[in-house]
Copies of this chain bind each other. A is one copy, B any other.
Amino acid sequence: MEFKVNSKELEKLLSKLYPAVPSRSPISQLENFLMEIKDGKLTAYASDLEVALKASLNIVSEENVKFAIPAKLIYDMVKTFSDTTIHFQFADNGKINVTTDKGKYKISYLDADEYPELPSFSTDDVENIEKFSINGLDLKYIFDKTYFALSKDEVRPAMNGVFFQMGEEGLKNVATDGHRLVFINKKNAEFSYNAEFIVPERAVSILMKSLDDSDVTLYFKKEGSSTVSFVLNDVELVTRLIDKKYPDYRAVIPAENDNLLKISLKDLQDAIKRMMLFTTSSNTRRVKFSITNNNLEISAEDVDKGASGTENVICEYSGEPMDIGFNSVYLNEVLSHMPSESDILFKLYNPTKAAILEPEKKKDNFDLLMLLMPVRLNN
């Protein structure tokens, strides 16, 4: 049994799959690519058993075979070759002889049945299957705005992913860690059914690296989906879903925040970045906003270091004068995920209730809202 493949084409294929290979897994077989050659087509897989990636390539081969090969070794090796033909030959001793114009190499392979079963999208229950397509850049936008806010804390598994909710108001996505929340609504999409699921962090992280302006098609089940399939170009990503109830985000977003503050994003970011220097000694990283008529005074004090700072930023404010504290690191993160060309609108209720932040100008067809919990002011 033997087959041949162009080095650059194989490199491209493996580069798409490599992000799903776990760098260290208790199941060492997962540190391989699973490869299937069938009717002149090489299909390769990589997985950590939560997320699986699959991609294909036409090659020269007379026979069919399925095997697993060390992912890091073969990928690192293929990357070093210039444009050439790689010749794979299966020997009897459990090795593959790899030959190029540079030299000869032997690599141990595994039989395919030693590789664990991959997560897959079941096509049973066909009536229940739905699909929808979204431009890759739109999906990337959604992930860019939400990913930072999802919880990395394993004690809250429902929050360890990005929430998808489809219905007649379009596609809604949410991420939160309890301190801040991002809500985004793609309005130019309409669904004749309601469906929802939570895509885990690792799937989002891998997708963010792969998305471009090609369309992506999602396959899922309207009810009780345990996996979702994302098909983009020649790559399929299947991910297990987080099998938990997502928190009721609508109950958290306040409706009565009538104190409105409009401010330049850049001016505010500049000031917050400096104020962060005065918050490094405390856990809450607190900055204080003192808002009066069209003036925002921002201050921070590092008691341990005996250092403090105060700045004034021009704003437009309609509401009661208010002192409110925020975690400067969280605030800075929220601001850095706002559209950069826009002013920012704060909607406030009082110093103990969640603040709403919105960009003044929103991306076409997208609603975007971020929520930030205040921190207590002692004085």
Measured CB to CB, the residues of A under 8 A from B are 70, 73, 76-77, 80, 94-95, 102-108, 270-271, 273-274, 277-278, 305-312
Contacts and interface: CB of A to CB of B under 8 A. Distances in A.
A273 B311 CA distance: 54
A70 B302 CA distance: 13
A102 B70 contact: no
A73 B307 CA distance: 9
8 contacts: A70-B305, A80-B273, A102-B271, A102-B274, A103-B309, A103-B312, A105-B307, A106-B308
Contact of A308 (B76, B105, B312): B105
B77 A277 contact: yes
Q: Chain B CB within 10 Å — which of A94, A105, A312 has the most?
A: A105
Contact of A107 (B80, B104, B307, B312): B307
Nearest to A311: B103
Contact of A108 (B70, B271, B306): B306
Contact of A103 (B80, B94, B108, B271): B271
Contacts of A103: 271, 274, 309-312
A274 B78 CA distance: 9
Contact of A310 (B104, B107, B273, B306): B104
A108 B274 contact: no
A309 B94 contact: no
Contacts of A73: 277, 305, 307
A104 B77 CA distance: 57
A216 to B, nearest CB: 34
A305 B28 CA distance: 12
A92 to B, nearest CB: 14
Contacts of A278: 105
Contacts of A307: 70, 73, 105-108
Nearest to A302: B73
Nearest to A306: B108
Contacts of A104: 309-311
Contacts of A80: 270, 273-274
